[in-house]
Amino acid sequence: SRASATGPRFNRIRTVSSSQFMTKTNRLVILRHGESDFNIENKFCGWHDAPLSDFGVQEALTVAIPALSQSQLEFDVVYSSVLSRSRQTAELILSKLNCAYVPIKEDWRLCERHYGNLTGCRKRTVADRYGEEQVQAWRRGYDCVPPFIEESNRYFYTICSNPIFDDVPRGEFPLAESLHMCVDRVKPVWKEVRREVLKGSRVLMCVHGTVARALVQHIEGISNEAIEKVNIPNCVPRVYEFDLSTGGLVGAAINLGDQEYIRRKTAQVAAIGD
Ligand SMILES: O=C(OP(=O)(O)O)[C@H](O)COP(=O)(O)O
């Protein structure tokens, strides 16, 4: 059977003993996709559909997959955005974990925040023009909405005519989004996933930097100020454990993998870069 081929499943519903009670728990994994062509070039990406770079593919293979398989994590369903970098990472992971049959549920509401008219710009070029403080406010400020995308932006038409966004309801297609707006659009998907997790389904959410931060805020209930300081590196699985009877978190989030590597990559994501 698959279970005997892979050994005991780490993220099967578990029974954890606390001081006097036994608690049934289930885990959820959140993962940011591998590096995209735009991450490598240090460009704002948002709703532009940049594919994984060769390095991003390697990152999925050498960072995400070993971390998941060493912890014997397996999945019943994967949630992804409609953007290629998230879907491609999900497919790579499922195929390498020998479970390509697991369904991938794509949802436009899990897309990266729309970076407005910054889309396609190099972060360093924007910092040279507007200052690092303004760039960090646009990148991390909870309520800071970047300038709306304009028709003159070379990605305007490729984004607004991309059929992957056909499910976006009329009137909800953004011109730019803050982290706060992203937190709000992710909320209904998070509610659905939470119900599935509490029913015992093993879920992987293969998403984007800002969406992962939105999920962290929903899950951990941290303040708007605290979430501005959270940065999510590519391909590092972040594992949460939930108490199935109370729905509450058991312990803190765990980032799987080499902790020194994770610290270095997190610092790189926080920085504006060259
Ligand atoms: O598209 C983006 O995020 P993604 O690579 O997670 O999809 C952003 O451009 C990441 O840049 P940021 O870290 O300045 O928010």
- Using a pLDDT cut of 70, give the percent of the chain over it: 94
The Cα–Cα gap between 208 and 188 comes to 17
Retrieve residue 1's tokens: 């059977």
Known catalytic residue at 208: no
Residue nearest to atom 7 of ligand 1 (CA): 208
Q: Is residue 38 a known part of a binding site?
A: yes
Is the CB of 112 within 6 Å of ligand 1?
yes
Alpha carbon distances (Å) from 274 to 42, 124, 147, 154, 269: 8, 6, 22, 22, 12
The catalytic position among 59, 112, 177, 241 is: 112
Nearest-CA neighbor of 238 among 71, 12, 18, 110? 71
The Cα–Cα gap between 209 and 220 comes to 16
What is the three-state SS of 96-164? HCCCCCCCEEECHHHCCCCCHHHCCCEHHHHHHHHCHHHHHHHHHCCCCCCCCCCCCCCCHHHHHCCHH
Burial of 217 (0-12, 13-18, 19+ CB in 10 A): buried
- State pLDDT tens for residues 29-64: 999 999 999 999 999 999 999 999 999 999 999 999
Q: Is residue 185 a known part of a binding site?
A: no
Quickly count: other Cβ atoms within 10 Å of residue 22's Cβ: 8
**Predicted pLDDT at 179:** 98
Q: Is residue 231 a known part of a binding site?
A: no
- State pLDDT tens for residues 59-102: 999 999 999 999 999 999 999 999 999 999 999 999 999 899 99
Retrieve residue 131's tokens: 């200052």
- State pLDDT tens for residues 245-260: 999 999 999 999 999 9
Residue nearest to atom 12 of ligand 1 (CA): 139
Burial of 260 (0-12, 13-18, 19+ CB in 10 A): exposed
- State pLDDT tens for residues 144-161: 999 999 999 999 999 999
Is the CB of 49 within 6 Å of ligand 1?
no
Nearest-CA neighbor of 51 among 78, 86, 82? 86
Distance 27 CA to ligand 1 centre (A): 26
- State pLDDT tens for residues 12-21: 677 776 656 7
Mean pLDDT score across all residues of the chain: 94
Q: Residue 272 pLDDT more than 80?
A: yes
What would the mean pLDDT of 107-127 be, rounded to a whole number?
98
CB of 110 within 8 A of CB of 205? yes
Give the DSSP letter string of 42-83: TB--TTS-PPBPHHHHHHIIIIIHHHHHHTT---SEEEE-SS
Distance 58 CA to ligand 1 centre (A): 19
Is the CB of 269 within 6 Å of ligand 1?
yes
Is the CB of 39 within 6 Å of ligand 1?
yes
Q: Which CATH architecture has domain 2-36+52-111+179-270?
A: 3-Layer(aba) Sandwich (3.40)
Atom of ligand 1 nearest to the CA of 269: 13
Is the CB of 208 within 6 Å of ligand 1?
yes
Residue 239, SS3 per DSSP: strand
Give how far the C-alpha of residue 130 lies from the chain's centroid of Cα atoms, to the nearest Å: 28
The Cα–Cα gap between 112 and 184 comes to 13
Known catalytic residue at 192: no
Q: Is residue 123 a known part of a binding site?
A: yes
The Cα–Cα gap between 85 and 57 comes to 10
